[in-house]
Each structure stands twice: as C-alpha cells, then as structure tokens.
Amino acid sequence: MSYRPASDRVFSWLYETLSVPPVVAGIACSLGLGGLALWCTWLLGTVDAVAAGLMPDIAVRAPVTLYMMAGYLPMAIYYLGVWTRDHFEMLTNNFTLDQTVVGFPRLFANAFGVAGALTMYLLFLFEIDAPWRWNAEFFFILVGLLVMGWFNFRFMFLLVWNALRISRTAGTIENLDLFDPVLVKPYAQQGVRSSLLAVVGLSVSANLWLDPHSPALGTVSSVAMLVAASVLALVLPTWGVHQRLKAIKQAQLGSIRRAIAARHDPQSRSVDDAQQLRADLAVERRLTEVSEWPFDAGSYGRVALYVFLGFGSWVGAALVERMLETLGT
C-alpha cells in the first residue's frame, strides 16, 4: 500500500495528462493569466489612467499579480502532493513504517478555500472607499481576489496537513541511527521543498503588499499568511523526527556519561577499563556533535538561497520602478 498525499485531484489529473512537464505548464499558465490581466486592464483604460498619473500603478499591478498567483498556486499544490508521496516512499524504504492509506478531510480543504475567498472579499470591501461603485474594473479585481483566496488557503491547508502526516511517521520508527543522517533526509527535503513553494508564492505576491500605496490591512494579512506558511513549511515536517533525534541523543549521552563516570577513578580502573574509557569519551564527543535536526549544510544553504532570491526579486522590482519613475519625470 502507498501513501495518498493531500492534493487537488482535478489539477493533478490535468498536469499528469498534459504532454509538457508540469512546471512548464504551471509557469505558462501563470504568465498567461498575468498577460490576460494586463490586457484586460488596458481594455478597461486602467493602463492609460496610470500612465496619465490619474491612478496609482498598483491599479495595474494588483490584478496582474492576483491572476499570476491564481496560475501558480495550482502548480504548487500539485508539486506539494507529488513530493510528499515521494518522500513518504523514501522513508518507507529506509524504515518500517505504517503504510496504511490515509486520506484527508476534503471537506476541510474546501472549507478553507471558501474561507479564503470570503476573506479576500471582505478585504476588497474594506479597502475600496465606495463599495457600491461596482464597475468592470472592480469586478475584474474581485474575481482575481476570490480565485487567489480559494487556492491560497487551500495551499496552506494542504501544506500543513501533509507536513503533519510526514512528521507523525517519525513516531513509528523503531531503530533510528543518529550517525546515519541520510536515512532521515526525506524529512528535510519535505521541509526545504515546501519552503521553496511558499517563498515563490511570497515573491510573486510581493507586488501587492510591498507597494507604498497598498492599504495596510492587505499588507499585514499577506505578510502574515505567506511568512507563516514559509516557516511552517520548513519546520512542521521535521518536528517529529527532531523530537526523536533529541530524545535518542539525550538517552545515549546519559548512558555513555554514566559509563564514563563509573570508570573515572584512575585508582580502581584496569587497563581494559582505561581503553574502554577512551572509547567512551570518543563516542561522547561524536554524540555531542550530532545534530538534533535532519538538516545539513546544504539544506540551510538552499533555504537561504530561496529567501535571498525572493528578497532580491522585490528589491530589483523596486529599483526598476524607481528608475522608470525617474525617467518619466
């Protein structure tokens, strides 16, 4: 039997049916929706109004960003499910785990999607000065908010659910070798890859909440949701194995230190005891150096790179915008 990760069945079927790699289809969908949004803002006259200085440029960047996120999030949900299944299978090969097929409360995932859409709708009403001024421009932005809210909240729910399922498998491992970190590497891979998905989403949506004209409530809500998702994505899958590694390390350190204390007196120990003492001290040094987390230097480096690239994209976009404003004045 195999593990069935929480995912989106419709988009999973769609990505697996296409003849192109899912990442290519996802990027094309995100860019295509972003281009469609830009074209629609041009048809609605928003682009001309921004160029004439009658509206802030967030009026164009907001719908483009929303629709790009609506194209990115289904791909993120798909890869989250695929990677979770792969990591579970790797852990199954490394350890004896409970391989019972476990589904997930799809009703809860849908409820989170509805909650996300309603949250975006309420933010829309709060941020618009006159909510009764319904027109094509407002309706176009509202559709993007509802779709992004649905997928964004579902993505966060699925990310946490899969992370908890992976984390709980650590409790079923009987023999865990502290000196073989390769065996627990899938936990770190789940965290790092999930963090990548969250950071990319954070980078794409930066055009919404880093703009000085963007309302404070939208800024705070976006930062809180996406940063929290990034942290949870990295820590949650590894928390269970972290607790196991920490407990085993402390138990083995306690045992070896009691043995060292028993042979510490030079007056009573024999030659064999002296040799065993040196061996015990060497084991103690190795144990103290063992990490209580499944991450290695490469894992930390990748996460740091993801975050750096995310911040770099925001800084670069800000510099380009400032340059264009300077050239236009």
pLDDT (tens digit per residue) in 211-224: 554 545 555 555 56
CA separation for the pair 32, 27 (Å, rounded): 8
Tokens 């699925």 found at: 158
Question: Do 43 and 126 meet the contact criterion of CB atoms below 8 Å apart?
Answer: no
pLDDT value at residue 2: 47
- Residue 207, pLDDT above cutoff 80: no
| 22-43 and 136-168 helices, crossing angle to 10° | 160
Cβ count within 10 A of residue 287 = 18
CA separation for the pair 217, 208 (Å, rounded): 11
Report the b/e string of 89-125 with b at 16+ CB within 10 A.
ebbbebbebeeeeeebeeeebeebbeebbebbeebbe
Residue 292 lies inside a defined structural domain of this protein: yes
Residue 213 lies inside a defined structural domain of this protein: yes
Of 7 and 279, more confident: 279
pLDDT value at residue 327: 43
Residue 64 lies inside a defined structural domain of this protein: yes
Mean pLDDT (the chain, rounded): 77
Identify the sign of the CA torsion 154, 79, 296, 164.
positive
Question: Do 199 and 307 meet the contact criterion of CB atoms below 8 Å apart?
Answer: yes
Structural domain that includes position 54: 9-328
pLDDT value at residue 51: 81
- Residue 124, pLDDT above cutoff 60: yes
- Residue 179, pLDDT above cutoff 90: no
Of 126 and 284, more confident: 284
Residue 1 lies inside a defined structural domain of this protein: no
Residue 3 lies inside a defined structural domain of this protein: no
Residue 91 lies inside a defined structural domain of this protein: yes
Number of domains in the chain: 1
Residue 210's pLDDT band (cuts 50, 70, 90)? low
CA separation for the pair 326, 329 (Å, rounded): 5
pLDDT value at residue 237: 93
Residue 4 lies inside a defined structural domain of this protein: no
Structure tokens that stand for 46 in this block: 């928003």
Q: What average pLDDT does range 237-258 have in this prediction?
A: 91
Q: What is the pLDDT of residues 53-98, one digit of tens each?
A: 787 777 788 888 888 888 899 889 888 888 988 998 898 888 876 6
Q: What is the CA radius of gyration of the chain?
A: 26
Residue 9's pLDDT band (cuts 50, 70, 90)? low
Q: What is the pLDDT of residues 291-317, one digit of tens each?
A: 888 887 777 777 777 766 665 555 555
Of 151 and 56, more confident: 151
pLDDT value at residue 269: 59
Residue 181 lies inside a defined structural domain of this protein: yes
CA separation for the pair 279, 94 (Å, rounded): 29
Of 312 and 246, more confident: 246
Give me the helices (H) in the chain, please: 9-17, 22-43, 46-51, 58-94, 106-127, 136-168, 185-204, 206-209, 216-262, 271-289, 297-328
Residue 101's pLDDT band (cuts 50, 70, 90)? very low
Identify the sign of the CA torsion 309, 298, 233, 101.
positive
**Which residue from 144, 141, 19, 22 is spatially nearest to 74, judged by alpha carbons?**
22
- Residue 125, pLDDT above cutoff 50: yes
CA separation for the pair 252, 27 (Å, rounded): 49
- Residue 104, pLDDT above cutoff 60: no
pLDDT value at residue 260: 82
